[in-house]
Amino acid sequence: MKVLMFTWEFPPLISGGLGMACYGMVKALLNLGIKIDLVLPTREMVYFPLREVSDVDTLPVVFIDKGEQSKFEKLRFSNDSERLEYIGISDSPESYIQLTSVQRYSISLKKEYWLSERMSGEERDVWREMTNHLVGDEDLIHKVQEFTLRAEKIAKLLEFDLIHAHDWLCYPAGMLARKISTKPLVVHIHATEFDRAGGPGDERVHKIEHAGMTYADKVIAVSQYTAQMIMSRYRIDTAKIRIVHNAFTVPEDAVFSKERIFKGPVILFLGRITLQKGPDYFLEMAQKVLASHPDARFIMAGTGDMSRKILRSSASLKLKNRFLFTGFLNRKQVERILRASDIYVLPSVSEPFGISPLEAMAYGITSVISKQSGVAEVVNHAFKIDFWEVDLWVDTINHLIENPEKNIKMGIDGMHEVNKIQWDEAAIKIRQLYSATLAEYIRRQE
């Protein structure tokens, strides 16, 4: 079985949980013998033919353009990262794509596919929903347009059995690939606009999400929480939805031993500093906990649109040097901050899954997580609290600080539990879903 997969993030091109999830999932799928042609928003027009498990780390590259490919083959790179740099991959996913031809793109979409006679009225509505909303002057929209254009070339060039697209940025690409190839499309919901925005969000994104899920043959939700959201907010046919929880695989070079930076207890927030993740609740907790435990330190690791607001508020609350900001951290730095932490908190307002608590638990750190999260469905050895119950979060953190032996035990139990949540299990579910989808597709063809 060969899958054409579109995703916006894949290590080293990574900014959040999506990249980590795709990495673990793809690795486990390869292990099951499934072949994957991976397409990423790289600067150069390339795809990654992944066949062996080890390919997830080396990322073999093929240029779509034959001339570019032969040029590339003549080049010698001293290491993988140099090679990946050549095709335009570095640490930050937002910096790759240059807008080529937006106009050409939308014309081609409309003329060639949307207006084609083979399209049913219902199908046309979905296309219209997608194309009409894939407009705007924001860099991101331009990038999605460019990415979708690339999908057209790839879908014509490659042979595959099935298409798998992760999150709305890749839905237009997935839809186009399905239209061209007529192969079935699986869309994977890691987060919806409602989660990301912590409110209604951008209308265009809703429409694209709705179009993608409607056009898809199957929809994978990362949790029951997300499945519920898809049903209630997007009115997607329940029969199409499958739940596959994310997992966490510890990197092989991981070091777990504690290495303290601070003498006092350290409480960690790790993730994008954005409304969805509840950074303002973290600040409120810090203020209240510090009132009774002035030797604690609260560390806010990550960046985001609310960084400045939280920073300024922490100063105005006079939290001294007890509330610290790390800025963006790479994977090794994340490990160092985890090794230095005692309690991990995830006060998300809406979290479809939330891999980062699993990572924290793998490092033996007690996790306190929002009930409004998918990850709460898969772990038992963690505290689960409604995000708005700030005093309960505060009591919990205080309790853990005051009972360090309990905190350690909870951390160890959590570590054992997380070690059992493996991607292999999730990959088996995905394979079953692929097979069922293909079987339906073949039946439909006959």
Partner 1 sequence: MLNIIFYFQVHQPYRLRHYNVLDIGQGTPMFDDKLNSEVMKKVAQKCYLPTNALLLKLIKEHEGRFKVAFSITGTAIEQFKLYSPETLDSFKALVDTGCVEILGETYYHSLAFMYDSNEFLDQVHMHRDLMMKEFSYHTETFRNTELIYQDRLSDLIFEIEGFKTILTEGVDRILQWRSPLYSYKNYSKRINLLLKYYQLADDIAFRFSNRDWPEYPLTVNKFVSWIDKLTLNETKGRNQFLNLFMDYETFGEHQWAESGIFDFMRHFPGEVLKNDHLGFAHPKDATSLSNYQQESISFPEAVSWADEERDLSAWLENDMQRNAIETLYELLEKIKAKGDEKLLPLARMLSTSDHFYYMCSKYFQDGDVHKYFSPYDSPDQAYIYFINALAEMEEKLLR
Give contact residues for partner 1 (rule: CB under 8 A). 261-263, 297, 299, 301, 307-308, 311-312, 314-316, 318-321, 324-327, 329, 333, 336-337
> Which of 387, 383, 377, 379 lies closest to 359, judged by CA?
379
Nearer to partner 1, 83 or 322 (CB): 322
- Count how many residues are written for the chain: 446
Q: Whole-number minimum distance, CB 94 to partner 1, in Å?
A: 17
Q: Whole-number minimum distance, CB 20 to partner 1, in Å?
A: 20
Nearer to partner 1, 177 or 283 (CB): 283
Concatenate the DSSP letters of all residues of 401-423 into one string.
Answer: HH-HHHHHHHHHHHHHHHHH--H
Cα distance between residue 315 and residue 239, in whole Å? 50
Q: Whole-number minimum distance, CB 261 to partner 1, in Å?
A: 5
The answer to whether residues 262 and 299 touch, using CB atoms and an 8 Å cutoff, is no
Give the phi and the psi of residue 44 in degrees, each rounded to 5.
-85, 155
- Rg of the chain, C-alpha, whole Å: 22
Q: Whole-number minimum distance, CB 291 to partner 1, in Å?
A: 16
Which are the contacts of 89, defined by CB distance < 8 A and separation ≥ 6? 12, 13, 40, 42, 43, 59, 96
3-state secondary structure of 425: helix
Q: Whole-number minimum distance, CB 188 to partner 1, in Å?
A: 33
Distances in Å between the Cα of 14 and the Cα atoms of 89, 221, 328 are: 10, 21, 12
Nearer to partner 1, 314 or 407 (CB): 314
Distances in Å between the Cα of 325 and the Cα atoms of 8, 280, 337 are: 27, 14, 11
Cα distance between residue 400 and residue 252, in whole Å? 30
Catalogue the E-assigned strands of 204-303.
Answer: 218-221, 241-243, 266-270, 297-301
Output the six-digit token pair for 395: 């009591």
Nearer to partner 1, 91 or 112 (CB): 91
Q: Whole-number minimum distance, CB 279 to partner 1, in Å?
A: 15
Q: Whole-number minimum distance, CB 180 to partner 1, in Å?
A: 45
Nearer to partner 1, 92 or 232 (CB): 92
Nearer to partner 1, 126 or 299 (CB): 299
Nearer to partner 1, 300 or 376 (CB): 300
Nearer to partner 1, 296 or 349 (CB): 296
Q: Whole-number minimum distance, CB 46 to partner 1, in Å?
A: 33
